[in-house]
A and B are shown apart, each in its own frame.
Chain A
Amino acid sequence: MKIESARKDIPILKRSFNDRPLIYFDNAATTQKPTVVIDVLKDYYENSNANINRGLYSLSHESTKLWNNARDRVAKFINAQHAEEIVFTKSCTESLNLVANTFCRDFVQEGDVIVITEMEHHSNILPWQQIAKAKKAKLEWLPVLDNYELDLNYLDYLLLKYKERVRILSVSHVSNVLGSIVDIPNLAKKIHSVGGVLCVDAAQSIAHIPIDVQNLDCDFLAFSGHKVYSPMGTGVLYGKKHLLEKLNPWLTGGDMVNSMDKNSVEWASVPQKFEAGTQNVAGVLALAEGVSWLENFGWESLCLNEEKLVKTCLAGLLSICNIKILGKDIDSKRLGIVSFKIGDIHPHDIASLLDEKGIAVRAGYHCAEPLHKRFGFGPSLRVSFGVYNTQDEVKDFLNSIRSISNRFF
């Protein structure tokens, strides 16, 4: 499929707001959905709806087969070695909480060290902050340097000082503010050298670069479906099989045991022991369809399209007086996220003025307050691109930004 055809697949892009065609530049918050994804939801409930894994009748059997097939497809999408390494959750947030509340519960002791970074989304901070408190573990923050890179010297220092007491490092693959890519294999090598594990928040990379968990060599990787052109309420946790097998479940309930009686329980095998209760089957089937839809465009053209959008956007923004970019410069490799501010104009005012022209952007801290504070930046505006965004849209946006900054204030 040619990337130019992506727009035609997305019904919502036909909408107008404030008498202007919608220009949707908030893809880091959520992506819009193609018809094929929406159709799967409808088709499931019209034709295949039954609870999975437990019914002996044909309809339930069919639903279970569809569910298992979706797991296979998602495993293939991130090149997991085994389909059992894919746990379905309701969100990236839930996936990260699952790791914090299972791995740390059993494998972090008082005085052990949990490492996160200053560039994390709150969903990759709060689970660790809370479990560190509960376990009386140390929570260490890797600083972000002035060049927006992680301070790896500090990580080396922590590994040298605490050695095998550093149990886990959890880090974004791509910051939802900066857009730059973190060198995950390098971090994996470092943390593995002391026997610790690496958890990756891939919420912002999953729809933008090919993800190969075996190459990344991460132990856990989390992402949400809705940021990859799929339904809200779907999430994925990848975990290396031998690790998932060692963990006790977090949520307990229906459909996750082999057997139980009044005093004991034998958990089901992975991944079922992590999927208690009735699952979002329709959503997960649609997620499998969503990732296929994306992959059909080919990663080369997806990445090239996004790179061109970012270059045009950054070049245009940098020509505006008093612009300040939060993130790496135009020559650096970065994904389709650009955060900025213009002089003293409050980002909320600019966002409202853009909305009056049908342009949807994000303004505020983007759930990454520590990062904004680290750079003394205050709230920022963020534009973030998806597969269906065009050069013309970026040019319209830049014209609007110019007119706001020149004329309005």
Chain B
Amino acid sequence: MSSLYKKNIIDHYKNPRNFKSLKTYNKRGFLSNTTCGDELEVFMYVKKSIIEDIGFQGSGCAISIASMSMLTEHIKGKNFNLITNLSDLEIFEMIGINKDTPRSSCVLLGLKTCKAVNDT
């Protein structure tokens, strides 16, 4: 059996991309996973529907942090509407974990947080 913890996941966990809070932002989202205590907060600066900048803060397991890190890389510079259309399956494929995993709530916490953003 191959490990859940592939190199890309460890890399993104140890060096999460866009791990910062934004000084200037107009959308913010926060979600926690109550069963494990993971908390993610995401900030976006969206101009003319384009995500010009994105940052996230929080604490969590390697899977939830890596997944969020990869997601921010994926959506930065793209149309904000992309988030609404992103499916769970695309996130599993992006991070390289089979969707039939006991860790699905960790994989998907980042996407859920991005989908839960409100205007500030």
Query: A: which residues have CB within 8 A of B?
Result: 18-19, 346-349, 352-353, 355-356, 363-365, 378-379, 408
Contacts and interface: CB of A to CB of B under 8 A. Distances in A.
A349 B5 contact: yes
Nearest to A404: B5
Nearest to A344: B59
A365 B37 contact: yes
Of B35, B63, B102, B103, which is in contact with the most chain A CB atoms at under 10 Å from its CB?
Answer: B35
B35 A365 contact: yes
**Chain B binding surface SS class:** loop
A301 to B, nearest CB: 35
20 contacts: A18-B1, A346-B60, A347-B36, A348-B36, A348-B61, A348-B63, A348-B106, A349-B5, A349-B61, A349-B62, A349-B63, A352-B63, A352-B102, A353-B3, A353-B4, A353-B5, A355-B102, A356-B3, A356-B4, A364-B37
Task: Tell me whether chain A's interface is mostly helix, strand or loop, or mixed.
Answer: mixed
Nearest to A377: B37
A371 to B, nearest CB: 13
List the 4 closest A-B pairs by CB distance, nearest first. Answer: A346-B61, A348-B61, A18-B1, A379-B37
A365 B32 CA distance: 14
Contact of B36 (A355, A363, A408): A363
A378 B58 CA distance: 13
Interface in B1-60: 1, 3-5, 10, 35-38, 60
Contacts of B62: 346, 349
Contacts of A347: 36, 61
Interface residues of B, number: 16
Interface in B55-107: 60-63, 102-103, 106
A4 B6 CA distance: 39
Contact of A408 (B5, B37, B106): B5
Nearest to A19: B1
B89 to A, nearest CB: 20
B18 to A, nearest CB: 20
Contacts of A353: 3-5
Contact of B4 (A346, A352, A365, A379): A352
Contacts of B3: 353, 356
A376 to B, nearest CB: 12
Nearest to B60: A346
B85 to A, nearest CB: 28
Contact of A356 (B1, B60, B106): B1
A408 B61 CA distance: 13
A352 to B, nearest CB: 5
Contact of A364 (B10, B35, B103): B35
Given A347-B36, A348-B63, A356-B1, 18 more contacts: A346-B36, A346-B60, A347-B61, A348-B103, A349-B63, A352-B5, A352-B103, A353-B4, A353-B5, A355-B102, A356-B3, A356-B4, A363-B36, A364-B36, A364-B37, A365-B36, A379-B37, A408-B10
Nearest to A347: B36
A266 to B, nearest CB: 45
Contacts of B5: 349, 352-353, 408
B105 to A, nearest CB: 9
B69 to A, nearest CB: 15
Contacts of A356: 1, 3-4
Nearest to A378: B37
A155 B42 CA distance: 44
Contacts of B1: 18-19, 356
A346 B59 CA distance: 9
A358 to B, nearest CB: 10
A408 B62 CA distance: 11
A347 B63 CA distance: 12
A365 B33 CA distance: 11
Contacts of B10: 408
Nearest to A367: B35
Most buried by A among B10, B38, B62, B63: B62
A378 B38 CA distance: 9
Most buried by A among B35, B36, B37, B38: B37
Contacts of A365: 35-37
Contacts of A352: 4-5, 63, 102-103
